[in-house]
């Protein structure tokens, strides 16, 4: 597993299956096929599963002021083409700035319209 560290966080890459050592992944291959068939743009990749979350408890985060830094993690998962092990070829950690959620705009309905 390769680990990269920068000012923005850490990135860990796993180039091969931890179970059998294969470098082939199901969704990586499907993404390449989608590009070849014109169903997706060049450089497109679709993970099996993508997990993103803020690390901490909701109670503690509610006490933090807007603009505070919070730890975050992104996990990209795929499936080994040869042995079908689900693993994470890419894990990224870092911090994000807490910002207010945008409220969805609601259309005003007037009587008679």
Ordered per-residue pLDDT tens for the chain, 113 residues? 555 566 567 889 999 999 999 999 999 999 999 999 999 999 999 889 999 988 889 898 888 898 888 899 999 999 999 999 999 999 999 998 888 767 666 776 667 66
Going 41 to 42 to 47 to 50, the CA torsion angle's sign is negative
Tell me how many domains the chain contains: 1
Tell me the residue range of the domain where 58 lies. Answer: 2-97
For residue 72, the model assigns a pLDDT of: 92
Q: Give domain status of residue 102, yes or no.
A: no
The reply to whether 105 falls in a domain is no
* Residue 24 placed within a domain: yes
pLDDT at residue 7, rounded to an integer: 59
Instruction: Give yes or no for a contact between 2 and 87, defined as CB atoms under 8 angstroms apart.
Output: no
**Token couple for 43:** 């450089």
Tell me if 60 is assigned to some domain: yes
Predicted pLDDT at 77: 94
Q: Specify if 77 maps to a domain.
A: yes
Coil, strand or helix at 72:
strand
Q: Please tell me whether the overall predicted TM-score, pTM, comes out greater than 0.75 for this model.
A: no
- Whether 111 is in a domain gets the answer no
Position 28 scores a pLDDT of: 94
């Amino acid at each position: 597993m390769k680990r990269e560290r920068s000012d923005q966080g850490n990135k860990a890459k796993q180039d091969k299956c931890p179970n059998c050592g294969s470098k082939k992944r199901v969704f990586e291959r499907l993404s390449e096929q989608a590009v070849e068939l014109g169903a997706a743009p060049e450089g497109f990749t679709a993970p099996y599963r993508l997990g993103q979350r803020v690390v901490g408890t909701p109670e503690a985060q509610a006490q933090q002021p807007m603009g505070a830094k919070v730890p975050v993690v992104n996990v990209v998962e795929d499936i080994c083409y040869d042995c079908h092990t689900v693993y994470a070829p890419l894990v990224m950690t870092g911090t994000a700035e807490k910002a207010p959620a945008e409220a969805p705009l609601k259309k005003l309905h007037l009587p008679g319209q």
